[in-house]
Amino acid sequence: VLEGGLRLAVVGAGAFDLSPVAPPLAFDGEAPAVATLMSESVLDLNVMTRRGVATASVTHVASDAEIPL
C-alpha cells in the first residue's frame, strides 16, 4: 500500500493491516480475499506472476522525492 490503509483477510493466511509502513505481503492469488478500507482512499501496487513460470519481489523504499509518471 502506497497511500492510505486497508485490512486484507486472506482465507488460509489470516488478516493483515496494510499501510505505507507495513512490509509487502505475498499471498496465493487464488485464495479468496476480502479487503476493508481503513482510510477514505487507498493507493496500492500489486505484482502478479504465473506460478512456476516467473518470480517477483517487492522492496519498500521510503522517499520524500516526487517521481514523475
| Predicted confidence pLDDT, tens digits, the chain (69 residues) | 989 999 999 999 999 999 999 998 999 889 999 999 999 999 998 898 988 999 998 887 778 888 787
Overall pTM > 0.95: no
**Alpha-carbon distances, residue 59 vs 5, 16, 39, 53 (angstroms):** 18, 18, 23, 21
CB contact at 8 A, 11 and 33: yes
Which pLDDT does position 51 carry in this prediction?
86
Largest Cα–Cα distance of the chain, in whole Å? 38
pLDDT at 40: 93
* pLDDT at res. 53: 94
Instruction: Tell me what percent of the chain is helix, strand and coil, each rounded to the nearest 5.
Output: 0, 25, 75
∠ CA(38), CA(26), CA(50), 5° rounding? 125
The predicted structure's pLDDT at residue 67:
76
